[in-house]
Amino acid sequence: MKLEDFFGFCLAEVTCPKDMLRPLLPYKSKDDRTIYPVGTWLGVYFSEELKAVKEQGYTIKLIEDYEFSKAYIFKDYVEHFYNKKKVSTGPERFIAKMHLNQLYGIFGRKLETIETINVNAQQLKIHMVSSNIKSIIEIDDDLFAIMLYSNSKTDMLEKLNSQVDSVIGNSFKPEVKSNVAIAAAVTAYSRIHMIPFKLDDGICYTDTDSIFTTNELPEELVGKEKGLMKDELDEQIIDEAYLLGIKKYGYTNFDGGIKKDISVFSGVKRNSLSFEEVTDIANGGSFTVNLPDRLYKSLRRLNVEIKASKLTITSSDSKPLIDNLYRPSCTRD
């Protein structure tokens, strides 16, 4: 079957030209890192993403495929919550935004989940022959906390459970509602949308839905409607920036003549680092942040503790200083 006539997921032999400056197709490496390689490899991909990268010089050879039908299954859902988000504030806006942002993740969650329950010694014996147990914590002589895998319908467990259902009841709960194909297609379409931005010669940084660029974007790509890029700084120009990695950057700009330091680092509050601290990290230093008190639960002690914690931020690789960025922070709604 030709790629042009196919819609779905497929195992393919992919070749990316070795002289491609910005490879576009991700691959999960042996050490579980997401990389964007050149050369030839085998991988499972969404057909529409393969079509998109083929236009940029990739060579694709289909090996095996799973064909799907097409449907706009989220159109009404997205319209509803996007309109809610536009006119709402506070908690209502936050809830509408989460409904939009987290939908694909719900479809991508694992079918097998972990459940923690407390049982007595007799119930423990039954679960040990009828459930897939991850760990057992003895609380006292007749009370145990067990972590077990729910929704794991293996043939062995089905046979075991058929013998003990009369004792503990049906051990299988309703299946987790997920569809990895939907979640994978959503993320693939997002990467496809970002391809023109990644190929722009002014691009300095990009992640799933945002860019830093030295070029002015065409007016038709910028706005407040869904699918458009939003100019985060309203045409202000960044003075200096260090772009150190995914969700790891800091910059300065002047707002009404007042210098402002902006920082984004995963795990810490936005703008909690000064630009001088970001510069120090970029030059090989480190910075330790005191995190707010957090709740930590202990099944062994059957309590919840409030503890303070710290996070040390370092730069895993060094990136150059970027000067005078135009439309410095654009994100897609």
How does pLDDT run along the chain (333 residues), one tens digit per residue?
789 999 999 999 999 999 999 999 999 988 888 899 999 999 999 999 999 999 999 999 999 999 999 988 899 999 999 999 999 999 999 999 999 988 888 888 877 777 888 899 988 888 887 777 888 888 888 899 888 877 665 555 555 555 544 444 444 455 567 788 999 999 999 999 999 999 998 999 988 788 999 888 888 888 888 888 888 888 788 889 999 888 889 999 887 778 889 999 887 888 888 899 999 988 888 888 777 777 777 766 667 788 777 778 887 644 434 444 443 344 455
Question: In this predicted structure, what is the pLDDT of residue 126?
Answer: 83
**299 in the same domain as 230:** yes
Question: In this predicted structure, what is the pLDDT of residue 130?
Answer: 73
Question: In this predicted structure, what is the pLDDT of residue 160?
Answer: 54
Task: Tell me whether residue 267 is in a domain.
Answer: yes
Length of the chain in terms of residues written: 333
- d(C-alpha 4, C-alpha 312), whole Å: 48
Question: In this predicted structure, what is the pLDDT of residue 18?
Answer: 94
Question: In this predicted structure, what is the pLDDT of residue 53?
Answer: 97
**133 in the same domain as 59:** no
Which own/partner contact pairs does 118-121 have at CB distance under 8 Å and 24+ positions apart?
118/143, 118/144, 118/145, 118/146, 119/143, 119/144, 119/146, 120/144
Task: Tell me whether residue 91 is in a domain.
Answer: no
CB-CB contact of 204 with 329 (8 Å): no
**322 in the same domain as 224:** yes
**263 in the same domain as 213:** yes
Task: Tell me whether residue 318 is in a domain.
Answer: yes
Task: Tell me whether residue 84 is in a domain.
Answer: no
Question: In this predicted structure, what is the pLDDT of residue 297?
Answer: 75
**278 in the same domain as 231:** yes
Task: Tell me whether residue 173 is in a domain.
Answer: no
Question: In this predicted structure, what is the pLDDT of residue 176?
Answer: 62
**155 in the same domain as 252:** no
pTM of the model as a whole: 0.74
Question: In this predicted structure, what is the pLDDT of residue 163?
Answer: 52
**205 in the same domain as 328:** yes
Question: In this predicted structure, what is the pLDDT of residue 333?
Answer: 52
Copy the structure tokens of residue 70. 């097409």
Q: Which of 170, 174, 44 is nearest to 111 (CA)?
A: 174
Q: Which of 188, 207, 302, 297 is nearest to 246 (CA)?
A: 207
**117 in the same domain as 57:** no
**328 in the same domain as 268:** yes
Task: Tell me whether residue 179 is in a domain.
Answer: no
- d(C-alpha 282, C-alpha 100), whole Å: 34
Task: Tell me whether residue 257 is in a domain.
Answer: yes
Copy the structure tokens of residue 165. 């259902």
Task: Tell me whether residue 272 is in a domain.
Answer: yes
- Helix 90-101 and helix 75-87, axial crossing angle in degrees, nearest 10: 150
Q: What is the count of structural domains for the chain?
A: 3
The whole domain housing 34 covers 3-67
**328 in the same domain as 224:** yes
